[in-house]
A and B are shown apart, each in its own frame.
Chain A
Amino acid sequence: MSGPDQKPILRMEDISKRFGPVQANDRISFAVRQGTVHALLGENGAGKTTLMNILYGLYQPDSGRILLRDRPVHVASPRAAIQHGIGMIHQQFMLVPPLTVAENIVLGLPPRRRVFLDLASVESEIAGLSKAYGLDVDPRARIWQLPVGMQQRVEILKALYRKADLFILDEPTSVLTPAETGALFSIIRRLVAEGHSVIFISHKLEEVMRICDEITVLRQGRVVGTVPASETSTDALARMMVGREVIFRLDKGPTRPGEVVLEVRDLSALNDRGLPALRGVSFNLRRGEIFGIAGVDGNGQAELAEVIMGLRPPTGGRIVLKGLDVTHLPLRSRIAQRLAYIPADRHRFGVIQDFSVADNLVLKDFYRPPFSRGAFLDQSAIAGHARTLAERFDIRITNVHQPVRQLSGGNQQKVVLAREASGVPDLLNAMQPTRGLDVGAAEFVLRTILAQRDAGAAVLYISTELEEVLAMSDRLAVLYNGEIMGIVRPREVSLEEISLMMAGSLRKSFAPLESVG
């Protein structure tokens, strides 16, 4: 399909965009050739969606320029983007459920015949477009009656009807079943065959290899590189996505594993959309070791952490914590087994923003001594506890009654860390504990977790930062599509092998299911 002779329909040059302290896009340049599918590949937070929101006029770039058909353009708003022939299909569809397909498609457009809607002619036009592109959408169907895959096609029709010829699909397969994905891909091929161009945003390697002609890999707001799909492979892409720079060195002594703390057997679970997210995951975790979970984001990591905590019901398998089957026990019973959790989205789940630092630090223990005496809280014990922890964990606060809302992200994470890891838990379940932190705060977090291991905690360490997992873990499982591709020791595995496992094309275990000292 592609060839070097095709002219670029779009060039984005040196696009930069900063949100507060975070450089979301850092001098990003890439070009999309007419009549091709171009992938933007990267982890969550790599800057893909920000870049596309700039192209679609939702954000203005701090610097850089956009050229459409070799002419520089200023995309002031989504309306301007549509006039330039850009159509964006968001992850969350922008449709009005009670209205019909045709009504949704003309929504917001000026009526063509004075004031009256001429739905009949619109409907026949939509039916024609639908037929031409193999979309198979009934213009009179009401949105709420349509399955998700169909609603997505309505979004595509909407863009077609507005004469779009450059389509942005933002993670279009994340809501689809495999069969629906196959159907979407044939629609994309049809679009391209008609001379349209498609930007395909994804973090799924094999999909990108299946449908795209060229792939631009983003990492931490920068372009890692652009490669033709015909000259690359999923594992090469995985390597580009996760990089291999080590930010700092950890002084990590050898592990001295003790007895088994956590036993996970054949665990299965569904994701929020009711699709399988975990498919028969098994591993053992011993006292005094860090067990890492590596993998590209969205391969079941979040679901694994939640099932272990009791925040998501498993559909099969069992979880044994210190010899006790906790598979169907609520969260508080698991906490009573000395299980600690650092959630990935600490802003929402880790702290109560309106509560004081002191209150957040006793969120799990407020109802028992020394923080309570009978039905009453012991305010001085709570405040004293907070002062001790603030000192030990270097939480920068003016006083312990300051609301957590006023703290920086790094200090908020330290509050969570101090609460979860101040007494040595038997099992520490840490999910992306350094996400969004600056280097200093991240290093502090990692050192604290290491100290927990050395004090005898079993640590489940889930992160999509490959170098971090490799540096931290004593053993490491690679999760792909809800399955463990293998359990390995970091020193006994090459980056190539890990990349292959992350891409789902290698299944190999170097370490036994449970380590033997």
Chain B
Amino acid sequence: MKVRLALTRMLPVWAVLAALLLGMVLVALAGANPVSAYRELMRGAFADLFGFATTLVKTTPLLFAGLGVAVALRAGLFNIGAEGQIYLGGLAAALVGLYVHGLPAILHIPLAMLAAFAGGGVWAFLPALLKVSRGVNEVITTLLMNYVGIYLVSFIVGGPLIEPGAPYPYTRPLDPATNLPLLIPATDAHVGILIALGLALLLHVLFARTTLGFQLRAVGANPSAAAYAGVHVNRTLILAMVMGGGLAGLGGASEVMGLKHRLFEGFSPGYGYDAVVVAFLSNGQPLGAVAMAFFFGALRSGANIMQRSVGIPVAIVFAIQGLAVLFLAASLVVQRRSRAREPRQPWGAQHIDVAKPAAEAVKHEPL
């Protein structure tokens, strides 16, 4: 029993290891020595201060957005819209940086962050509202809202907010009071990672220790039973989505305020999509998300060095990422099958007429 439990808990780790192993085969097929390729990857990500700083820079948005997906996941919702939420968060932070002046950094940074949380939150609120009021699947709506968000930012920075004479759509620089301080001098690593880590810890406590966390988990595990116990399921779902969207929005803010100090068109290279991977591989656990975000951040950071020194394209990293998800999904299916086969319930506890319609599953549920 204990062994099996440990195996289940470690499933994502096994999936990642299996993906790395299969990745070696891919590297070999591409004509390079897998061992030296992985060594270069590691060297690029960790060996010097600059590599490590890059790893942190790449980890930061992955962690913010990964937490955003994870919160929704714990409440039983699939937030595939972290990318759009990143863009809206970045936009909101940039507006505060462009139009508010004269505040000290100690106030300006929190204000911009708050705006970013609201921006991402609004972007997640719309799908959540459609879900609880009309039953529209949130996977579809959050996914589509990504495009709206990305192109909204493109329009704004390419038109109304473009810096005059800019060769590429971006805004004027933000008020320097919104710049996040550097974590490691003379590198790109900024304190955004500390904020993200702090939030991960906060979420961990939220889920493990608080009544709100209990409520979110209950709704995620069995919305019908939660509703029968008097939990306002729809309100909980909306809250989880807005929290998730806000967290992803903070990821956008940290990119804008910590790294680029302007709002660029297309400033996120798909961090929001990778965040979905981070959240699923960590099973919605905030501390697991820290590990996964760091792992994928390191892969991205080391991939450039690997490409330069052994000639393996960066794309191999995305292949490894995809393989890890496939392995995890496959193992979860196997796990569910074997659980279904276990004789755990006397039959009488359920309906014996197996063909009876499960109409009761869909119940009127008070908002």
**Residues of A that sit less than 8 Å from B by CB:** 19-22, 24, 44-45, 47-50, 53, 90-92, 170, 272-273, 302, 306, 309-313, 330-332, 335, 341, 343, 345-355, 359, 363-364, 366-367, 372, 375-377, 379, 405-406, 408-410, 412-413, 435-438
Contact = CB atoms under 8 A, between A and B. Distances in A.
Contact of A354 (B209, B221, B352): B221
Contact of A20 (B343, B353, B359, B361): B343
Interface in B309-367: 343-357, 359-366
Contacts of A367: 211, 214-215
Contact of A352 (B221, B350, B354, B359): B221
A389 to B, nearest CB: 16
24 contacts: A19-B347, A21-B347, A22-B346, A24-B352, A44-B352, A49-B354, A170-B355, A273-B359, A330-B232, A332-B230, A341-B228, A343-B228, A348-B224, A348-B225, A348-B361, A350-B228, A352-B218, A354-B221, A366-B211, A366-B215, A376-B210, A409-B345, A413-B349, A436-B347
A408 B346 contact: yes
B227 interface: yes
A405 B344 contact: yes
A408 B353 CA distance: 20
A223 B214 CA distance: 48
B349 A412 contact: yes
B226 interface: yes
A170 B346 CA distance: 24
Nearest to B219: A352
Give the size range of B's interface with the partner: 35 or more
A311 B225 contact: no
B137 interface: no
Given A332-B232, A363-B218, A377-B209, A20 B346 contact: yes
Contacts of A354: 221-222
B29 interface: no
B355 A90 contact: yes
B218 A355 contact: yes
Nearest to B344: A405
4 A-B pairs with the lowest CB-CB distances in the bound complex, closest first: A436-B348, A409-B349, A332-B230, A22-B347
Contact of A48 (B209, B226, B227, B353): B353
B182 interface: no
A375 B211 contact: yes
A92 B355 contact: yes
Nearest to B362: A272
A350 B218 CA distance: 12
| B226, B228, B232, B362, most chain A CB atoms within 10 A | B228
B212 interface: yes
Contacts of B362: 272
A282 to B, nearest CB: 22
A339 B228 CA distance: 12
Contacts of A355: 217-218, 221-222
Given A44-B352, A45-B352, A352-B221, A91 B346 contact: no
B228 A91 contact: no
Given A335-B229, A409-B348, 20 more contacts: A20-B347, A22-B352, A45-B348, A45-B351, A48-B353, A53-B355, A91-B355, A306-B363, A309-B228, A311-B227, A312-B363, A312-B364, A313-B364, A350-B225, A350-B228, A353-B221, A377-B209, A412-B349, A413-B349, A435-B348
A343 B225 CA distance: 10
| B209, B361, B366, most chain A CB atoms within 10 A | B366
B123 to A, nearest CB: 26
Contact of B350 (A48, A436, A437): A436
Contacts of A302: 360
Interface in B196-222: 209-215, 217-218, 221-222
Contacts of B230: 331-332, 335, 364
A66 B364 CA distance: 43
A205 to B, nearest CB: 18
A406 B344 contact: yes
B209 A376 contact: yes
A364 B211 CA distance: 11
